[in-house]
């Protein structure tokens, strides 16, 4: 059954079918929230709120965009609201927790430490980026969205997405290079 068919039936009173949409999108929504927020608990809370808002707002969903795009827009908005209220500069604890959860015992310890340090440096550099640049990087590299999908989620022209990605890459490169030389705290 397509998203549109499910939505039509939910609007028609078969509210239990909304659970199929939750199952379909819970991993991408949670993953997006985790990448933006850095902490598993916070991401779970935001993801839950995303589905509550989507369910409550289903009557106003016009279908002009795909349901997934609308859902990712809700996720993005809730994540940015959360970040404004609870900004955390240090994501290290969340990243360590995530690293232990997905650690592969076949990788030697030294490689794992280097990868963890690299990931930590990238997250710190990402964290220092202005939200408009960080959002396009997260959506492209971590959520694997196309430029067109990012534009739809952020309600921006594709050219603006391209420009922000160009600028974000440049800022990240500068931050990482200066960090490797000891210039970034």
CATH number for the domain that contains residue 101? 1.10.10.10
- The mean pLDDT of 22-35, rounded to a whole number, is 93
Residues 17 and 46 in one domain: yes
Instruction: Judge whether residue 181 has pLDDT over 50.
Output: no
Residue span of the structural domain in which 22 resides: 3-86
Instruction: Judge whether residue 99 has pLDDT over 50.
Output: no
- High-pLDDT (> 90) share of the chain, %: 45
* Other C-beta atoms lying within 10 Å of the C-beta of residue 145: 23
Last residue of a domain, one of 65, 86, 107: 86
d(CA 141, CA 128): 17
- Mean pLDDT for the chain? 81
Domain count, the chain: 2
pLDDT score of 117: 66
Is 111 part of a structural domain of the chain? yes
Structure tokens at 10: 């939910």
Residues 16 and 53 in one domain: yes
| pTM, rounded to two decimals | 0.69
d(CA 24, CA 184): 41
Query: How does pLDDT run across 5-15, given as a tens digit for each residue?
Result: 999 999 999 99
């Amino acid at each position: 059954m397509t998203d549109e068919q499910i939505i039509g039936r939910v609007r028609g009173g078969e509210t239990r079918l909304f659970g199929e949409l939750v199952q379909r999108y819970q991993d991408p929504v949670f993953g997006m929230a985790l990448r933006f927020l850095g902490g598993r608990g916070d991401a779970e809370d935001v993801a839950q709120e995303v589905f509550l808002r989507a369910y409550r707002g289903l009557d106003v969903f016009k279908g002009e965009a795909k349901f997934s795009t609308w859902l990712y827009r809700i996720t993005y908005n809730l994540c940015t609201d959360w970040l404004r209220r609870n900004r955390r500069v240090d994501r290290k604890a969340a990243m360590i927790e995530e690293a232990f959860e997905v650690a592969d015992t076949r990788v030697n310890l030294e490689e794992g430490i280097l990868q963890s340090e690299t990931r930590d440096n990238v997250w710190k550099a990402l964290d220092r980026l202005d939200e408009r640049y960080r959002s396009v990087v997260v959506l492209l590299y971590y959520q694997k969205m196309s430029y067109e999908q990012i534009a739809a989620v952020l309600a921006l022209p594709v050219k603006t997405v391209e420009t922000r990605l160009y600028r974000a890459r440049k800022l990240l490169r500068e931050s990482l290079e200066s960090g490797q030389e000891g210039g970034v705290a």
